[in-house]
Amino acid sequence: MVDNPFESAKKQLKAAADLLGVDKRTFSVLSQPKNELTDDIPVRMDDGHTQNYNSFRIQHNDALGPFKGGIRFSQDVSMDEVKALSMWMTWKSALAGIPFGGAKGGVICDPKVLSQAELERLSRGYVQQYVDNIGPDKDIPAPDMYTNSQIMAWMLDEYEKLTGHHAPGAFTGKPVELGGIPAREAATGYGGFVAVQEIAKLLKLKPKSTTVAIQGFGNVGHNAAEFLFDAGYKIVALSDSQGAIYNKSGLDPGAAMACKLEKGMIAKCYYAGSVTDKAKARVIGNDELLELDVDILIPAATENQITAKNAGSIRARAVVELANGPTAPEADKILHQGKIPVVPDVLANAGGVIGSYFEWVQNNYGYYWTTKEVNEKLARIITTSFVNVLERSREHKVDLRTGAYLLAVSRVAKAVQLRGGD
């Protein structure tokens, strides 16, 4: 069983590269990051002592455009996780047809125990470490798990101080006041909503009678839940890292989030006000959520949640991956055999990088669009990608992930070859 995300990422690439007949030299370029940057960031803590935090910036490929990818602050982040995430970013941008490559960053830390001042010094320290490697035409970071627009604001400010000029396009996911766009915050959730609509259409599911379980109630899971709820889908289960709630008759994600903010965890919210009614609701385990009898299962938390161990117990009619890498390759096979389509992360959660691309384009032009315009353009890209991926997977009789990889890998491989193979 593979539970190393980078091993999973390489297996996924190999499956597509074999089908495409990618030559050895190009395959070796695609299967490893171009640059693996890692260093300790010294941070002065509030009590006066200095703490070193191990950090990474992994730049996988820039054949199609500047490296692009978020920065994750987490105690569990590792080099191999960031390497996998950087590779997935390359495929995601290529599949969406946007002129970016793939990268990812991380800092091993527990952001929950840091004060705001310590968090700011850590964010600025990250930029001091990697200033020569990032920039609007080089590598454009963005928020990821446990990082947000405030952190991007500190990072942009530090970058502009160090380089001596304005460069809003050096980071995306910024506050609107600093060149961010209002649609970016919810863009991954919105793109995920569009992906759910596409798979629902394919399975002939009507929103009102379609049940949805969402693992992970953070930025992505919460925004997706809100769009789905507004369109009439029935959200029956939600979870965060501390537990899950289930209600057969449906949950209101807005009220659930208000309660989670008040009580600190979703598991304390099963009977909160209008969220749900006490008689029909219950607290369930995180593992149980994945195995619920629902129409759509949305993993929106972290990697390796559906594995060879639990894939056989998945009862959803379709899985829509809003997290990166939630399904291990062995689990993919089991789900495919069980005729459970998986809308892969590189397609379903591409709304984030597409939103970032629109932010970057507008920063470069200094000319801004409305949220409606942004969402329409974003939905068009996700829908077109979905149709192309479906067509490719049917043509080759493979699952949707392999169909997506066939498209993405062939685009990047071609660009690598045109540049001379490195």
Enumerate binding residues for ligand NAD (CB under 6 A): 143-146, 188, 215-221, 239-241, 286, 300-302, 322-324, 349, 352
Least distance from C-beta 89 to ligand NAD, angstroms?
Answer: 9
List CB contacts of 193: < 8 A, sequence separation 6 or more: 224, 227, 228, 231
To ligand NAD, the closest distance from the beta carbon of 221 in angstroms equals 6
Cβ nearer to ligand NAD, comparing 214 with 413: 214
Nearer to ligand NAD, 35 or 148 (CB): 148
Q: Which is nearer to ligand NAD, 216 or 344 (CB)?
A: 216
Shortest CA distance to 286 belongs to which of 271, 266, 272? Answer: 266
Smallest distance from ligand NAD to CB 351, Å: 7
Minimum CB separation of residue 373 from ligand NAD in Å reads 19
Residue whose CB is less far from ligand NAD, 200 or 298:
298
Cβ burial 364-379 (10 Å sphere, 16+ → b, else e):
eeeeebeeeebbebbb
Catalytic residue among 10, 68, 104, 260: 104
Residue closer to ligand NAD, measured from CB, 22 or 58: 58
Nearer to ligand NAD, 196 or 416 (CB): 196
CB of 82 to ligand NAD, least distance (A): 11
Question: Do 328 and 306 meet the contact criterion of CB atoms below 8 Å apart?
Answer: yes
CB of 65 to ligand NAD, least distance (A): 18
Minimum CB distance to ligand NAD smaller for 140 or for 323 = 323
| Minimal distance, residue 419 CB to ligand NAD, in Å | 27
Are 174 and 153 a contacting pair, CB within 8 Å? yes
Residue facing ligand NAD at closest CB distance:
218
Q: How far is the CB of 103 from ligand NAD (least distance, A)?
A: 13
Quick one: 302 or 327, whose CB is closer to ligand NAD? 302
What whole-number distance in Å separates Cα of residue 192 and Cα of residue 231?
A: 13
Is residue 92 annotated as part of the catalytic site, yes or no? no
Which residue numbers are catalytic?
Answer: 104
